[in-house]
Structure 1
Amino acid sequence: MRKIIVSTFISMDGVLQSPGGPFEDPDNHFKWGGWSVEYWDDLMNKTMQQSTSQPFDLLLGRTTYEIFAAHWPYQKDDPTSEKFNKIQKFVVSSRQTIDLSWQNSTLLTGDVAAELKKLKQQQGPDLLVNGSGKLVQTLLENKLVDLLHTWVFPITLGAGKKLFDSGTQPSQWKLTDAKLASTGVIIASYIPDGDIRLGSFVPDQISEKETERRSGFSVE
């Protein structure tokens, strides 16, 4: 069974839109494109290299796929480009027809959640998700994320597309690893950890008396 592994760059206020350049995703007149570029250091580069050191395929939303397809096939003598060109690329889109000329690309459309569940059940390497905000929200909505890497940059943007937006389900997550870059970026890794577990800092006796006061009925 394949795992779905999501890596996402987000600001401190949860924005994931257009981290790599001004023209990456200008929807809704977003003017901060390229906000992640100045924060990179050796630790971040090594962490990114490690994420692709094991066999993997790519699972991408249409917009991220088109950005990748316009870049990676044309990078010469680049190990990452060679790897991305050879592996399978699965593209999730509501459109029935898109340009899939980048080699080894397959379109997933229709009942996307069902298609993703079938894809996970297949034999093959893990599926890496980069960017792809709408796809990530679909994955979160259907609890299909097996490992989540958040790269939190020390910046607030105030507006833009959010990671945890529509589709996010109430869930516990367990922290499995954390790194701090020299630039202040926090790279944290999480796995799903079941349903939310509730508690109270208020002692039971006080809580009962407060319930009695508010309701007008005795709990004794």
Structure 2
Amino acid sequence: MRPVKIQTFISLDGVMQAPGGPEEDTAGGFTLGGWSQPYWDAKMGEVMGQAMAEEYDLLLGRKTYDIFAAHWPNAGDDNPVTQKFNKSNKYVVTSSPNTLDWENSQPITGDVAKGILQLKQGVGLPLSVQGSSELIQLLLENRLADELLVWTFPVVLGSGKRLFGVGIAPLGLELDDIQISSTGVTMARYRTAGDVKIGSFALDAQ
């Protein structure tokens, strides 16, 4: 079974849209792109380097794929992320399978949840999800995600695409690891843990 690992940056109010730059994703009139960069420090670079060093294939939504395909193949071969992304298999949820020009790209069409389940049940590397907000909603709704690496930045953005959208299915999580940067960014790794556990602080009746 191939695990599906979601890796994402979010603001304190849960927005994951366009952390890397002003023009990354302006959908819905989003004007605060690039909000993660001012918080970057050496600790975050270390943790990111460890995550990028793992072996994986990419599982991407079409919008994120197009952003990556326009940038990474031209970022220079001396960049380890470029090398990793170019050589990896890229599974892309798309309605236009004939327009995937980045090397080693394969489309997922039709019943997306079924297609991803078949990928998970096959033999191969873990599947890394980056960006791809709409795809993440589908993965969580269908209990297809196994791990979430969530970096939470101490900033409130107010609006934008959220990691946990309206109507998201309830899901239990277990903390596997957490680290904190000098700038207050929490880098937490969670494993999915089935249904939400319910308890009560109510006092027993006397």
- For 1:35, the equivalent position in structure 2 comes to 35
Choose 1 or 2 for highest CA Rg.
Answer: 1
Hey, what's the Cα distance between the residues in 2 that align with 1:137 and 1:72? 25
Q: 1:52 aligns to what SS in structure 2?
A: helix
> Residue in 1 aligned with 2:101?
101
Give the length in aligned residue pairs.
205
Compute the TM-score of the two structures, normalised by the length of structure 1. Answer: 0.90
Check if 1:160 corresponds to 2:154. no
**1:98 CA displacement:** 5.4
Check conservation: 1:141, 1:167, Cα contact below 8 A. no
CA displacement at 1:99 relative to structure 2? 2.4
Which position in structure 1 is the counterpart of 2:75? Answer: 75
Task: Answer yes or no: is 1:88 the counterpart of 2:89.
Answer: yes
Consecutive unaligned residues in structure 2, runs of 5 or more: none
Q: Does 1:177 align with 2:177?
A: yes
Deviation at 1:2, TM superposition (A): 0.6
Deviates more, 1:98-107 or 1:156-165: 98-107
Q: Which amino acid aligns with 1:46?
A: E
CA shift for structure 1 position 166? 4.0
CA offsets 1:25-79 (integer angstroms, 9 cap, x no match): 1111111111111111111111111112222101111111111101111122222
2:194, 2:203 → 1: CA distance?
26
Conservation of the 8 A alpha-carbon contact between 2:97 and 2:109: no
- TM-score calculated relative to the size of structure 2: 0.95
Q: CA deviation at 1:142?
A: 0.4
Asked if the contact 1:137–1:167 (Cα under 8 Å) also holds between the matched residues in 2, the reply is no
- Which residue does the alignment assign to 2:3? 3
How large is the Cα RMSD of the aligned pairs?
1.2
Q: Residue 167 of structure 1: CA displacement? A: 5.3
Are the equivalent residues in 1 in contact too, given 2:10–2:150 (CA < 8 A)? yes
